[in-house]
Structure 1
Amino acid sequence: MSVPYKPAGYTDAAPYLIVDGAARTIDFLVQVFGAERLRRFDDPEGGVRHAEVRVGDTVVMLADGGEGYPPQPAHVHVYVPDVDDAYRRALEAGGESVRPPERGDDPDRRGGVRDPGGTTWWISTQME
């Protein structure tokens, strides 16, 4: 029997975030998006060497920055059933507003929030 090339339920591509405070980012994702914690491997100093969470149908991988791998700003787009509710939860979870939800030139209502680890999350609900 051969081993599958990826874990069951994983997509072929996944964002990988190098952040300042991966544990805080994981808590943020759980509170805002209902993320499911999948795997976490801490380093001997208590930092996050590697972690995985599922946000909706997508696995997001992340780790604390360190020597040779500094935290990097990133942008991730997430569709949610209610953008206004997710935006509110993001602010309550310690996020900083980048842009309140509003309707643009496309069919989405979208807002942006920067989490405590430095990632900007563009939260959107398709309106038509």
Structure 2
Amino acid sequence: MSSTPARPAGSNTINPFLMTDDAARIIDFVIEVFGATDVPEARTVDTDGLILHSELRIGDSVITVADRKPDWPFTPGFIQVYVDDVEGTLARAVGLGARIVTRPTDFFGDTFSRFADPSGNLWWVYAHVPQEQTWDADGTDASTWNGSAEDAGADDRDAAEADWSSFTSPELEYIHESLVEAMASLRDPRLDR
């Protein structure tokens, strides 16, 4: 199961799908904020005039955006995107009506931030900042770990899962608290009309 499955050219193994109100607005938002490229031949409009399918290419990935039908439930998207410039990305997003959820924070060799777009989707925005990292043998400094869960071993994973405070830091606390707060504030944009 570890091999990459066959897929059509231009598709990745995982391709996110946003069902949102006013898909055309979100398409323009993603193009402006992330420099996405619209794939016009993929655009399909349903008989009711709503966008049934569209594709945007961001870097080496594709995100599909469609309009939410009037009787469909609100299902916000949660999308992670790597960018070269977190601050510039956030400035463009805020300029188009987004709300910053997590201000730029150091996160295990990345700069990390989050914003909610005008339709209530939550975007995780990262810029990779390569640096030398090592594992602190006594396990007290999570910010220096450069490995995977498999590297840690089952006993270490069980201990970490049992006690978050054993490896947290002020940065991780802030990232966690800002997510909890953002999740509690998510609501159907139609309810605000």
The question of a shared fold, defined as TM-score above 0.5 by the shorter chain, is answered with yes
Normalised by the length of structure 1, the TM-score is 0.86
Question: Post-superposition shift, 1:94?
Answer: 1.7
The CA distance in 2 between the partners of 1:70 and 1:51, in whole Å, is 20
Q: Does residue 85 of structure 2 align to residue 82 of structure 1?
A: yes
**Corresponding letter in the other structure for 1:126:** H
Cα pair 1:83 1:123 within 8 Å, conserved: yes
**Structure 2 unaligned blocks of 5 or more:** 1-5, 131-193
**Structure 1 unaligned blocks of 5 or more:** none
After superposition, what is the alpha-carbon deviation per residue over 1:5-48, rounded to whole angstroms, capped at 9, x for unaligned? Answer: 75422213200111122111101100011101012112233321
What's the counterpart of residue 18 of structure 1? 19
After superposition, what is the alpha-carbon deviation per residue over 1:71-106, rounded to whole angstroms, capped at 9, x for unaligned? Answer: 3112111000111111111111221111221223x1
Q: Give structure 1 regions of 4+ aligned residues with deviation exceeding 3 angstroms.
A: none
The CA distance in 2 between the partners of 1:71 and 1:52, in whole Å, is 20
User: Over aligned residues, Cα RMSD in angstroms?
Assistant: 1.7
What's the counterpart of residue 96 of structure 1? 99
The CA distance in 1 between the partners of 2:57 and 2:74, in whole Å, is 21
Q: Which has the higher contact order (CA 8 A, sep 6+)?
A: 1
Q: Secondary structure at the match of 2:54?
A: strand
Structure 1 or 2: more strand by fraction:
1
State which structure, 1 or 2, has the greater radius of gyration over its C-alpha atoms.
Answer: 2
Cα pair 1:18 1:69 within 8 Å, conserved: no
